[in-house]
Amino acid sequence: MSTSTQFLVPPHAEPADSVLPLWRFIPRFIRNPLRALPAQIYTDRFVLREGARRTVWIAAPDLIEKVLLTDTTHVAKSAIERRALGPALGDGILTSDGAAWRWQRRTAAPLFRHADILALAPIMVAAAEDQVAEWRAVPWPQRRPVDRDMDETTFKIISRTMFAGGVDGEFAMIQSAGGEFLGAITWELAAAILNLPRWMWHPGKAVIARSAERMRGAVAALLVRRRAVGATGDDITARMIRARDPETGAPMSDAQIIDNLLTFLAAGHETTAKALTWALYLLARAPEWQDRIVDEVRRVAGADRLTAAHVVDLKITQQVVKEAMRLYPPAPVITRIAKAPITLDDRTIAAGTMIIIPIYAVHRHRALWDTPDVFDPARFAPEREATYARAQFMPFGAGPRICIGMSFAMIEATLLLATFVRGALFHWDSVHNPEPVSRITLRPRGGMPLLVSKR
Ligand code: HEM
């Protein structure tokens, strides 16, 4: 590996010096929840805050497995996350629990079989090639908002794969409403942490309500269009319309269908877009890894268009995707609530405690990784990756609530990154070093302008 990459330490969100009392925690949290993480969570197995809003942050992989895989009946999705996401995602698959969740997950699961996802590769590659053509249309290097380009490309892909093309025209609206919604989300999360009554005014409240309504309106219109032509086919809309509750035999209500369609639309593009945005930033700063990807694509596919069959051999590309998601996990934090007492090492965590799995900090934990803040895709070479504990690298979560779109996202991110890098060169202008900011997904503060030119 060349020296420059070896020492590339890209931006990091500095944690708080200690476990902050709520009055100091909240303002930092609103600015960037990652700055409100206690510094000890980067070195300790877990950190507990007693008193008002008892909270435990857990970083040790074996303890994370205990909470998310073993003692699953002792934990539930947190009311805080449900309150914040509820206006948009209601009681859909991401936010619900128990029997209501199980039914929705089983309804959607057949769409996510690995072999069926591979069959979607031509749609993914075509969208990536359109993006490359747009970049290459200008003969000189141009400054591009790469974050927005990634949102647009992954939105096209989710629309054309999971929604039978049904929301192609809604990108600009969903993007602006989704941006406003997530932009204000830390206010709503803070209101939930402080247990403010739901009716109480706080900054961001009206924005959240208005933007959620706009997004739900667009998805409701899609549902009306689909009902009019009949729920044939095997896209997500048709599946949700045909689904029947195994206990009551009842179909999903329109509100429930809209909850799920919006969940798949949002979760299915925004996260992958952020993974690719950060990957391109890191590659712009470590151009030797761009060269390695180009060599790999040449070796694997020659001058041919990439296909599903190439994915397994695009090993370097996958290592870069994984290292980008280690440093910048697109969903940086998972939250739960303890329904019953849970034992962590020698401590008993009381029921009612808020549980935070700070994936971002687990991925940079001082006891788990060598040079944790350094960009080094070689740490995902197969022989090294095999030595990591299951929950040490967990961009997609773990346990029964693991991301349903994991294969979809990995195949998509691999094919897109390889197609982008073989067709275009990404340069960093040495000025914009965006702080990673958590707004449910991990955004670059100030966006991600990069210089892009023809390769
Ligand atoms: C790089 C891309 C992605 C990342 C990093 C990611 C991350 C995650 C994580 C961490 C969770 C677990 C949340 C929790 O336990 O609280 C999750 C759940 C989920 N993801 Fe993804 N995701 C990605 C792509 C996708 C895609 C492409 C789809 C759909 C096409 C999707 C749909 C979902 C859904 C529906 C859930 C809820 C699953 C459940 O609760 O049963 N995600 N995702």
For residue 206, give every residue at least 6 positions away whose Cβ sits within 8 Å of its Cβ, in sequence order, or none: none
In order along its 455 residues, the chain shows pLDDT tens digits of: 444 456 899 999 999 999 999 899 999 999 999 999 999 999 999 999 998 789 999 999 999 999 999 988 999 998 898 999 999 999 999 999 999 999 999 999 988 988 889 999 999 999 999 999 999 998 889 999 999 999 999 999 999 998 888 888 888 899 899 999 999 999 999 999 998 999 999 999 999 999 999 999 999 998 998 888 887 888 889 888 988 888 888 899 999 999 999 999 999 999 999 999 999 999 999 999 999 999 999 999 999 999 999 999 999 999 999 999 999 999 999 999 999 999 999 999 999 999 999 999 999 999 999 999 999 999 999 999 999 999 999 999 999 999 999 999 999 999 999 999 999 999 998 889 999 999 999 999 999 999 999 99
Q: Which atom of ligand 1 is nearest to the CA of 263?
A: 35
Q: Which atom of ligand 1 is nearest to the CA of 112?
A: 30
CB neighbours of 291 closer than 8 A, spacing ≥ 6? none
Q: Which residues contact 103 (CB under 8 A, 6 or more apart)?
A: 243, 245, 246
Q: How many CB atoms lie within 10 A of CB 139?
A: 8
CATH number of domain containing 104: 1.10.630.10
Half-sphere exposure of 418 (CA within 13 A, CB side): 34
Number of C-beta neighbours around residue 382 at 10 A: 9
Euclidean distance between CA atoms 142 and 109, whole angstroms: 41
Question: Rounded distance, CA 97 to CA 245, Å?
Answer: 15
Q: pTM, whole model, 2 decimals? A: 0.96
Ligand 1 centroid to 266 CA: how many Å? 10
Q: What is the largest CA-CA distance in the chain?
A: 63
Host domain of residue 93: 3-454
What's CA 156's distance to the chain center, in Å? 17
Residue whose CA is at the smallest distance from ligand 1 atom 23: 271
174-192 in b/e form (b: 16+ CB < 10 A) is: bbebbbbbbebbbbbbbbb
- Report the nearest-CA residue for atom 20 of ligand 1: 403
3-state helix, strand, coil in the chain (%, to 5): 55, 10, 35
10 ligand 1 Cβ < 6 A:
no
| Nearest atom within ligand 1 for CA of residue 412 | 27
Nearest one of 29, 45, 34, 36 to 11, comparing CA atoms: 34
Q: How far is the CA of 336 from the centre of ligand 1 (A)?
A: 15
By most ligand atoms within 8 Å of CB, the mutation choice from 123, 237, 271 for ligand 1 is 271
Instruction: Write down the H helix ranges in 268-370.
Output: 270-285, 287-301, 315-327, 359-362
**What are the backbone dihedrals phi and psi of residue 16, each rounded to the nearest 5 degrees, phi first?**
-75, 150
Q: What is the C-alpha to C-alpha distance for residues 432 and 444, in angstroms, rounded to an integer? A: 10
Angle between helices 185-193 and 205-229 (to 10 degrees): 110
Q: How many beta carbons lie within 10 A of that of residue 220, not counting itself?
A: 16
Q: Quick one: DSSP state of residue 68?
A: I
* CA-nearest residue, atom 16 of ligand 1: 334
Which phi and psi (to 5°) does residue 317 adopt? -60, -45
**What's the number of domains the chain is made of?**
1
The ligand 1 atom nearest the CA atom of 161: 30
Q: Is the CB of 161 under 6 A from ligand 1?
A: no
Q: Is the CB of 356 under 6 A from ligand 1?
A: no
- Contacts of residue 37, defined as CB under 8 A and 6 or more positions apart, other chains included, come to 15, 16, 57, 358, 360, 361
Rounded to the nearest whole angstrom, what is the distance from the C-alpha of residue 404 to the centroid of ligand 1? 6
What are the structure tokens assigned to 64, written together?
Answer: 């994370």
